[in-house]
Amino acid sequence: MLFNSITILSLIVSGAQAVGRAIVTNQCDAPLYLWSVGGTISRQHTILKDASYSEIFHHDPLSGGIALKLSAVEGGIFKPNVSQTNFAYNLDGSQIWYDMSDIFGDGFEGRTMTIKPTDTSCQSIVWPFGKSPAGSQVKNCEANTNLELTFCTNKCLPSWSSCGDAAPNDPRVCCTHCIGNHHCVEPPFP
């Protein structure tokens, strides 16, 4: 009887899949506003500087995938024509599919944005100037990895922030570059 109980427990444990997390980290000076959207919309989550939001990957029975909708504007997804960045994922068995896209413009232009998997064999998505570098960005990885979207990667400053002589006690650098030792310039346009 003990052997049967151990065997059944082993089968249950081996059949359970470990899943990772979707993480959003804000290293920018300004707050980010996030909603987790599937078949329903979560409450607004405010992510302050040097803070994170995370959720365990899950499959939504109505929509399938989940979109973490981000805005630089409080209440942004409910306001007309306010830019949103979507960090979307879809848990498909032992795989996680992920991508990033913007709607209604590039609200985080000038801020470096990176989705980095903890599994180093999986591909990152990097938007060096807060805009999609063109082409499809859809990637996939094992579902047990974590995917972290970081804004202002390496704590760089967004465009038009004070820099150089204008910010002598701030060790951060511009996401683009500092002009005249007083402010970060807008990103170059392709």
Does pLDDT of 4 surpass 60? no
Residue 15's pLDDT band (boundaries 50, 70, 90)?
Answer: very low
Judge whether 28 and 158 are in contact, CB under 8 Å: yes
Q: What is the dihedral of CA 31, 33, 52, 96, to 10 degrees?
A: -140
Instruction: For residue 180, give every residue at least 6 positions away whose Cβ sits within 8 Å of its Cβ, in sequence order, or none.
Output: 164
Residue 23's pLDDT band (boundaries 50, 70, 90)?
Answer: very high
Question: Domain residue spans in the chain?
Answer: 16-155, 156-190
Distance in angstroms (rounded) separating the CA atoms of residues 142 and 124: 13
What percentage of residues in the chain have a pLDDT greater than 70?
83
Give me the half-sphere count of Cα atoms (radius 13 Å) on the Cβ side of residue 165. Answer: 4
Average pLDDT over residues 180-186: 73
Alpha-carbon 7 to chain mean position = 41
For 83-102, what is each residue's pLDDT tens digit? 999 999 999 999 999 999 99
For 126-157, what is each residue's pLDDT tens digit? 988 788 887 668 999 999 999 999 998 766 66
Task: Give kind and range of the element (H or E) at residue 11.
Answer: helix 2-15
Closest listed residue to residue 57, CA positions, set 89, 24, 33: 89
pLDDT at 1: 46
Which pTM does this prediction carry?
Answer: 0.76
pLDDT at 130: 81
pLDDT at 175: 65
**Highest-scoring range by mean pLDDT, 59-73, 102-116, 172-186:** 59-73
Q: Which residues pair with 100 in a beta bridge?
A: 87
Distance in angstroms (rounded) separating the CA atoms of residues 15 and 115: 29
Cα–Cα distances in angstroms (integers) from residue 52 to residues 32, 47, 149, 157, in the given order = 10, 6, 10, 18
Where b means 16+ CB within 10 Å and e means fewer, 124-163 reads ebebebbbbeeeebebbbbbebbbbbbbbbebbbbbebbb
CATH of 16-155, one of 3.30.1360.70, 2.60.120.380, 2.60.110.10, 3.40.1010.10: 2.60.110.10
